[in-house]
Amino acid sequence: MNQDYIQPSSWSIIEVGFNASRVKASESLFSIGNGAMGQRANFEEQYSGSTFQGSYIAGVYYPDKTRVGWWKNGYPEYFAKVLNAPNWIGINVSINDDELDLFTCKKVENFRRELNMKEGWLKRSFTAVLQNNIEINIETKRFLSLDDDEIGVIQYSVTPLNGNAEISFTPYLDSGITNEDTNWEDKFWDTLSVNYQNNQAFIEARTMKTDFHTCTFMQSQFFENGKEINLDGSISQTPTKISLTYSKSIQQNETFTIHKFGGYIVDRNHDRKKLISAAKNVLDKAVRFGFNTMLKQQQKAWSNIWEKADITIDGDVKAQQGIRFNIFQLNQTYSGKDAQLNIGPKGFTGEKYGGSTYWDTEAYCIPFYMATKDQQVARNLLEYRYNHLDKAIENASKLGFSNGAALYPMVTMSGEECHNEWEITFEEIHRNGAIAFAIYNYHRYTDDYNYITEKGLEVLIGIARFWHQRANYSKVKDKYVILGVTGPNEYENNVNNNWYTNYIAKWCIAYAIENIERIKKGFDSDYTRVMNKVQLSNTEIEQWKAIAENMYFPYSEEQQVYLQQDGFLDKELITVVDLDKSNRPINQKWSWDRILRSPYIKQADILQGFYFFEDHFTNEELERHFDFYESFTVHESSLSPCVHSIQAAKLGRMEQAYQFYLRTSRLDLDDYNCEVEEGLHITSMAGTWMSIVEGFGGMRIKENTLSFNPKIPQQWEGYSFKVNFRNQIIKVNITQTDTSFEIDGDSELNILVNGKQVTVSPDSLVTV
């Protein structure tokens, strides 16, 4: 834990007191988003202190040129860069010609920021004494509309406290912005037009290379003590910026307020030639509603989300705040409306991990969206990969695979690989397994087999073909081996027979064959259509089988554990507790070769496999592997603690499970990894949700039946969560003494609780 300035609160993230050294961290923590766009909590007014400016549009990126020491065949020519988009939130404020700038004020008092997660808005208030000794009070509130995801609104109020004052608001649009991640201060946007009509301003700009066309827009309203007034603005314009200045003399203790409406129109959703008129429509509608009505709509929209997704924790406000923060950010990042979008590891909160989609989506995020949204949302996430299947086949063929073998990219925006380090891009191929597993997981949870017959089967075949071609026969082992991979533990590269990779490869082949056979028997026309398309022969399937049935798994008889990879036991096996703390975190203290030859594990690897395939292993096996591997795990990936929390809970080690839970749920709030300034860890937040629902709640699907094995950390009085299971919302409430179930649906549901069948009927509480 590296910071503790966030105030405990069950529904809000609150910062009290202004501290310039915290500005960048808070810009991340107080980020807002609505699935289509998002922004760091940059101040509206001028700020000359250290800041990381960021406003992002979903799906808008830039292809940066790959630059490496020695080029390796197969590298993508470009990798994606998250692009800071034109600024529409800016409102410069001057009081008697003195510019408001928190960094240069003589005094700042009563500074308070609140991110209200229940209602989805960000508020900031403070009093400040400017260089000219005017004292003012500022209150701002803003949100990005969930209902109309192309627009956001800001309410910004100034009250002079020690005298009358001439106050100016200068709302502006600015496309002359830069990225944090740039080598030579390059520009990534071409500004096409700057327009002003009837109080509305527009900047059309296109991204270089990728040629996304956007229109950034704004319109403002003004109020004196809450009463709307008409003001004429004076325009000032440059080739990349338009500013409008509105001034008014304001009496002491009176309040001057601007409502600024703004946002982005993108040609992904609109005719490129009609972006401005689309922006007009959005503005007209928003202005007609006005700030207060839109705020009510926002509260309602968030209320609907929480209705399905909330988790309550009693008796532990920090844990409560942590889980709500995680659920809130996941919903800000991805709404599930658009199958072209996905869940970037930093969401809309920073530029790192340039691409939008990692295996995080399939391994960590799908369970969350599956259980807290309509079924279509998870299906959209699966279809995203189905839509990229041709590109995955092309990607594999660039690496020498053929015959329709598919390798999904490690990082992608458009289906093309956009990462370029060989040990990741070419070798971290286990990602393919997670994509197949997500299909299995979705079907297991929703019973929607239709997805597999329609689309999933082709994906499964492409993936099985990849594993078939990627494995090779080892004469000395008389087994099939998979050489030269990087497993989920990225602290080992180019290893042979990573257990997790081999295991999921074997499983993918078996699962593909199982579905081919099922569809052959029961879905004639789908079978014919797909087989005609992929031209799969029985001979090929027999070859797949030979590999799956004779896959090699490194095992230590002495330790009675599977080995993470062939060479694991040759390492100097000093456990993490015996490693001097001065070495941690090893990714900051050690050179890469030292990390690679150490036994230290970045995130669950074999234990990730035990998580996916828990029914394949006994509890004793899990315990043995947990004891062996957890002792070497440094959890330097945000994706690590959640899986360990779930496994610890399964083993009944509740204190350990609770510690892992805290680490995952407050990773960013408490800045465990000293990097929250760079943005939030969005995808791992879904892992936090899993640690409660699957870990503590013990939720599983066992043969088509929802099953629970409820446990509770001793620190908590009780907790509750909801899941949408096959279109009925089940609410689970767990206390130190019992567990109760309620159903918000039409039909009764048989569930398993600690292995015993329990029937939950609509409108009645069942307590176990």
Determine, following the binding rule CB under 8 A, whether residue 569 of this chain makes contact with a copy of itself.
yes
Q: Candidates 213-221, 236-244, 322-330, 591-599: pick the segment binding a copy of itself (CB under 8 A).
A: 591-599
Determine, following the binding rule CB under 8 A, whether residue 74 of this chain makes contact with a copy of itself.
yes
Amino acid at 134: I
- Pick one of 52, 61, 79, 143: the residue that binds a copy of itself (CB under 8 A): 79
Determine, following the binding rule CB under 8 A, whether residue 564 of this chain makes contact with a copy of itself.
no
CB of 603 or CB of 739, closer to a copy of itself: 603
Q: Are strands 705-708 and 749-753 parallel, antiparallel or unpaired?
A: parallel
Determine, following the binding rule CB under 8 A, whether residue 351 of this chain makes contact with a copy of itself.
no
Q: In three state form, how does the secondary structure of 374-426 look? A: CHHHHHHHHHHHHHCHHHHHHHHHHCCCCCCCCCCCCCECCCCECCCCHHHHC
CA dist 63 and 617 (Å) reads 44
x-marked contacts with a copy of itself along 237-276 as a string, rule CB under 8 A: ----------------------------------------
Smallest gap from residue 482 Cβ to a copy of itself (A): 9
CB of 572 or CB of 615, closer to a copy of itself: 572
- Pick one of 21, 69, 185, 232: the residue that binds a copy of itself (CB under 8 A): 69
Counting residues that bind a copy of itself (by CB under 8 A) gives 54
Determine, following the binding rule CB under 8 A, whether residue 750 of this chain makes contact with a copy of itself.
no
Tabulate helix, strand, coil % of the chain (nearest 5): 35, 25, 40
Q: What are phi and psi of 126, to 5 degrees?
A: -170, 165
Smallest gap from residue 277 Cβ to a copy of itself (A): 38
- Pick one of 73, 525, 532, 582: the residue that binds a copy of itself (CB under 8 A): 73
CB atoms within 10 A of CB 450: 14
Handedness of CA 4, 8, 11, 12 (dihedral sign): negative
Determine, following the binding rule CB under 8 A, whether residue 398 of this chain makes contact with a copy of itself.
yes
- Pick one of 285, 337, 533, 597: the residue that binds a copy of itself (CB under 8 A): 597
Please, which residues have CB within 8 angstroms of residue 578's CB and are 6 or more apart in sequence? none
For residues 25 and 41, is the Cβ–Cβ distance under 8 A? no
CB of 328 or CB of 491, closer to a copy of itself: 491
Q: Candidates 107-115, 203-211, 489-497, 662-670: pick the segment binding a copy of itself (CB under 8 A).
A: 489-497
Determine, following the binding rule CB under 8 A, whether residue 235 of this chain makes contact with a copy of itself.
no
CA dist 442 and 448 (Å) reads 8
Smallest gap from residue 500 Cβ to a copy of itself (A): 17
- Pick one of 481, 657, 680, 685: the residue that binds a copy of itself (CB under 8 A): 481
Smallest gap from residue 567 Cβ to a copy of itself (A): 5
Q: What are phi and psi of 723, to 5 degrees?
A: -135, 145
Q: Which residues are bridge partners to 271 per DSSP?
A: none
CB of 310 or CB of 492, closer to a copy of itself: 492
- Pick one of 1, 2, 16, 72: the residue that binds a copy of itself (CB under 8 A): 72
CB of 209 or CB of 589, closer to a copy of itself: 589
Q: Which of 15, 135, 416, 490 is catalytic?
A: 490
CB of 176 or CB of 567, closer to a copy of itself: 567
The closest alpha carbon to 188, from 88, 87, 83, belongs to 83
CB of 480 or CB of 660, closer to a copy of itself: 480
Smallest gap from residue 334 Cβ to a copy of itself (A): 24
Determine, following the binding rule CB under 8 A, whether residue 546 of this chain makes contact with a copy of itself.
no
Q: Are strands 705-708 and 718-725 parallel, antiparallel or unpaired?
A: unpaired
CB atoms within 10 A of CB 744: 14
- Pick one of 185, 232, 478, 593: the residue that binds a copy of itself (CB under 8 A): 593
Determine, following the binding rule CB under 8 A, whether residue 422 of this chain makes contact with a copy of itself.
yes
CB of 539 or CB of 582, closer to a copy of itself: 582
Determine, following the binding rule CB under 8 A, whether residue 476 of this chain makes contact with a copy of itself.
yes
CB of 281 or CB of 397, closer to a copy of itself: 397
- Pick one of 49, 162, 337, 473: the residue that binds a copy of itself (CB under 8 A): 473
CA dist 645 and 655 (Å) reads 10
Determine, following the binding rule CB under 8 A, whether residue 555 of this chain makes contact with a copy of itself.
no
CB of 393 or CB of 513, closer to a copy of itself: 393
Smallest gap from residue 130 Cβ to a copy of itself (A): 41
Q: Candidates 439-447, 585-593, 614-622, 671-679: pick the segment binding a copy of itself (CB under 8 A).
A: 585-593
Smallest gap from residue 600 Cβ to a copy of itself (A): 13
DSSP calls for 416-463: SB----HHHHTT-TTHHHHHHHHHHHHHHHH--THHIIIIIHHHHHHH
x-marked contacts with a copy of itself along 207-226 as a string, rule CB under 8 A: --------------------
Q: Biggest alpha carbon distance in the chain?
A: 89
- Pick one of 209, 285, 477, 702: the residue that binds a copy of itself (CB under 8 A): 477
Handedness of CA 463, 465, 469, 474 (dihedral sign): positive
DSSP calls for 286-323: HHHHHHHHHHHHHHHHHHHHHHHH-EEEES-HHHHHHH
Handedness of CA 681, 682, 686, 689 (dihedral sign): positive
Among residue numbers 600 through 659, which ones bind a copy of itself (CB under 8 A)?
none
Determine, following the binding rule CB under 8 A, whether residue 591 of this chain makes contact with a copy of itself.
yes
Q: CA dist 524 to 529, 531, 741, Å?
A: 9, 11, 41
The closest alpha carbon to 616, from 603, 625, 628, 629, belongs to 625
The closest alpha carbon to 145, from 285, 266, 28, belongs to 285
Determine, following the binding rule CB under 8 A, whether residue 537 of this chain makes contact with a copy of itself.
no
CB of 303 or CB of 472, closer to a copy of itself: 472
- Pick one of 21, 183, 537, 539: the residue that binds a copy of itself (CB under 8 A): 183
Smallest gap from residue 152 Cβ to a copy of itself (A): 33
For residues 153 and 294, is the Cβ–Cβ distance under 8 A? yes
CB of 64 or CB of 310, closer to a copy of itself: 64
- Pick one of 421, 448, 623, 744: the residue that binds a copy of itself (CB under 8 A): 421
Q: What are phi and psi of 626, to 5 degrees?
A: -60, -50
Q: What are phi and psi of 226, to 5 degrees?
A: 85, -5
Using DSSP, how many helices (H) and how many strands (E) does the chain show? 21, 33
490 is catalytic: yes
Handedness of CA 614, 619, 621, 622 (dihedral sign): positive
Q: Which two tokens stand for residue 477?
A: 């082992």
- Pick one of 209, 300, 533, 589: the residue that binds a copy of itself (CB under 8 A): 589
Q: Which two tokens stand for residue 121?
A: 């808005």
Q: Which two tokens stand for residue 94?
A: 């001057």
Determine, following the binding rule CB under 8 A, whether residue 587 of this chain makes contact with a copy of itself.
yes
CA dist 130 and 105 (Å) reads 5
Binding site for a copy of itself (CB under 8 A): 65, 67-70, 72-74, 79, 183-184, 398-400, 419-424, 426-427, 472-477, 481, 483-484, 493-496, 556, 558, 566-567, 569-573, 587-594, 596-597
- Cite the active site residues: 490
